[in-house]
Amino acid sequence: MAPGAFIPGAIRSFTCHRQILPCAAACTVRHKRILRRGADVRRCSLRMHGSSRETPLALGTRAGQEVLLGDRLAVLPVPILSDNYSYLVIDRARKTAAAVDPAEPQVVVREANARGYRITSVITTHHHWDHAGGNAEIRQLLGKQDLEIIGGVGEDIPFANVYMKDGDEHKLKDSSLSIRAILTPCHTRGHVSFTVANPSSSGPGAALFCGDTLFIGGCGRFFEGSAKDMVASLAKLRKLPADTLVFCGHEYTISNLKFAAHVEAENEKVHSMLEWAKEQVARGDFTVPSTMGGELQYNPFMRCQELAGRHGSQWQSEEEAMASLREMKNRF
């Protein structure tokens, strides 16, 4: 295991210094004992509890830590700008990486170089400057005018030379890893989320890079779409396996969960997540990744169908709930 790496592969708890501790991913307020930054993570591994699999609400990451999905795929969150995340999607065997939304390319390239990874591709979720604005500079920094830059069909992505439509699969350059495109319009008309399948037989099945469509506990603003579009986009993401790791485009988690607690004051999962997120951020750590199964339990925008279906609900449909919640969040 590489130093500074975290394996989310199993589900419920980790073993550390021969003592079984409740996983930080379980996010319950009573479980306060979490590994601090600087711990010897090489001595920590996850433990599977037989066939009983309980998907954690979120996993989070210590700053500078790689998230390992099996033995071949790793993801390194790279904080950039004021609250954005870029990511390195790493082929551990070949030491190559794809950079997701590297809007501050000097930071992303520096992280890759420090770890001995060679960036061979760029994945761009949508055209906004804080996601696509670094594409020109990263070509220059790497000295690769033909650098593989991937974007969605119909989205104006600077220097894109690989265009993917909904359901397309693409093998990353100089990598054994493949990505699949999921068209998720609303924040922008051509916004695409991407999944990277875990090629190993152990660990979560995939990582999702969802840009500004889905956040931990929230969703993106409807800049170029409608509530109907967001309902349809999130419905696609809801179909992903519960253990899919969710890597979003911004650190908005505390704000989102405060709103979620306002919407569903009785939802204990929301309050547990909020307390955990506050602890993560206070330590200078990250709340990414969450899990798809977790989002379905505490994210009100992923729960519009359930909220609209409740007896006495003010909303008559999932779309009506989505539109109302987004307007409420905009003013929250």
Is 191 one of the annotated active-site residues of the chain? no
pLDDT tens digit sequence for 111-162: 999 999 999 999 999 999 999 999 999 999 999 999 999 999 989 999 999 9
% of the chain beyond a pLDDT of 90: 77
- Which pLDDT belongs to residue 204? 87
Closest CA to 193 of 125, 133, 242, 139: 125
Please tell me the distance from the alpha carbon of residue 299 to that of residue 318, in angstroms, as a whole number. 14
Catalytic residue among 127, 170, 250, 271: 250
Catalytic residue among 91, 101, 212, 285: 212
Q: Is the pLDDT of residue 22 over 60?
A: no
Is 128 one of the annotated active-site residues of the chain? yes
Q: Is the pLDDT of residue 44 over 90?
A: no
Mean pLDDT of 55-83: 93
Catalytic residue among 130, 229, 243, 285: 130
Contact 13, 56 (CB under 8 A): no
pLDDT tens digit sequence for 253-281: 999 999 999 999 999 999 999 999 999 99
Catalytic residue among 170, 187, 191, 271: 187
Please tell me the distance from the alpha carbon of residue 38 to that of residue 44, in angstroms, as a whole number. 12
Please tell me the distance from the alpha carbon of residue 101 to that of residue 126, in angstroms, as a whole number. 8
Q: Is the pLDDT of residue 33 over 60?
A: no
Residue 68: pLDDT band (50, 70, 90) is very high
Q: Is the pLDDT of residue 38 over 50?
A: no
Question: Could you give the count of Cα atoms lying within 13 Å of 12 in the half-sphere of its Cβ?
Answer: 8
Catalytic residue among 91, 101, 126, 191: 126
Is 49 one of the annotated active-site residues of the chain? no
Q: Is the pLDDT of residue 236 over 90?
A: yes
Is 31 one of the annotated active-site residues of the chain? no
Closest CA to 300 of 201, 180, 216: 216
pLDDT tens digit sequence for 272-324: 999 999 999 999 999 999 999 999 999 999 999 989 988 667 898 999 999 99
Q: CATH classification of 62-324 is 3.60.15.10, yes or no?
A: yes
pLDDT tens digit sequence for 157-198: 999 999 999 999 999 999 999 999 999 999 999 999 999 999
Is 131 one of the annotated active-site residues of the chain? yes
- Which pLDDT belongs to residue 54? 65
Contact 117, 142 (CB under 8 A): no
Is 126 one of the annotated active-site residues of the chain? yes
Mean pLDDT of 50-77: 82
